[in-house]
Amino acid sequence: MTRATSRRDTRARIVDVAARLLQEEGPVAVTTRGVAERAGVQAPTIYRLFGDKDGLLEAVAEHVMSTYVSAKAEIVEAASAADVDPVEELRDGWTMQIDFGLANPALFRLLSDPDRVRHSPAARSGKQVLQARIRRIALTGRLRVSEHHAVDLIQAAGIGAIHTLLSTPPDQRDPDLAPSILQAVLTRILADTPEPAHQAPIEAAVALRAIAPQLDVLSHPERQLLAEWLDRAIKAMSANL
């Protein structure tokens, strides 16, 4: 075994131990000494690999989130291949996200820290999964706001729902809260009907914006210009809704 391989294995073992401690006992339990003992290493090893406790928590958050996001991405890809209704797939993804947050409160709080999210590759990947879900809806002509606005609304609503539920004692939580929040968002972003013959201009514009990057009959500058025009039109029409 090479030194690099040994270092990776040691790092992975430490992250796995810290992740279990975080999930079972919360951030307070993730001490360098406690993690080192459970991982069978010396405390200086953790400092050498992660810098400090915050560095270790960063690594744990990235590891768990990356694994979770990879699973979500596979679900989206499978749903697309199987031609699953994108709105129902979005609902399933929402439920999965809420359940994940409630099952991993300490990790959720780490991952919802704005300073941490801005620099997190896993968080960016997670947002890309949501963007892919919204893109699938846009392509059906059912989206009546911009993709960017829809993604931000769903992301903000999901974070707020989880925070609210986590701040409520488990036996007092409203089981209809998260589904009701999602339904309110869907009412805002979805058209009443997906049939092209009944599309209003904004749904048609959003659908065309979704496929604009793939219009190979246009040059790259032309695709950029088309996207800019459509973004402007969608923003103007959305303001009148």
Closest CA to 93 of 130, 121, 68: 130
Which residues are bridge partners to 143 per DSSP? 190
Domain of residue 22 covers: 1-51
Residues 46 and 63 in one domain: no
Query: Does residue 9 sit within a domain?
Result: yes
Which residues are bridge partners to 199 per DSSP? none
How would residue 1 be classed by pLDDT, with cut points 50, 70 and 90?
low
Of the candidates 51, 74, 92, which is a domain's last residue?
A: 51
CA distance 202 to 143: 8
Query: Does residue 19 sit within a domain?
Result: yes
Residues 91 and 158 in one domain: yes
Task: Please report, rounded to a whole number, the percentage of residues in the chain having pLDDT higher than 70.
Answer: 94
When divided into structural domains, the chain yields a total of: 2
- pLDDT per position as a tens digit, 112-126: 888 777 777 878 888
Residues 18 and 64 in one domain: no
Residues 8 and 75 in one domain: no
CATH assignment of the domain containing 31:
1.10.10.60
Residues 87 and 155 in one domain: yes
Q: Where are the alpha helices (DSSP H) in 26-146?
A: 32-39, 43-50, 53-81, 86-103, 105-111, 114-118, 121-139
Residues 92 and 182 in one domain: yes
The structure's pTM equals 0.72
Residues 177 and 86 in one domain: yes
- pLDDT per position as a tens digit, 63-122: 887 787 787 778 877 777 777 899 999 999 999 999 989 988 888 887 788 877 777 787
CATH assignment of the domain containing 161:
1.10.357
Query: Does residue 21 sit within a domain?
Result: yes
CA distance 145 to 223: 20
**Which helix (H) or strand (E) segment is 163 a member of?**
helix 147-166
Query: Does residue 73 sit within a domain?
Result: yes
Query: Does residue 217 sit within a domain?
Result: no
Residues 32 and 90 in one domain: no
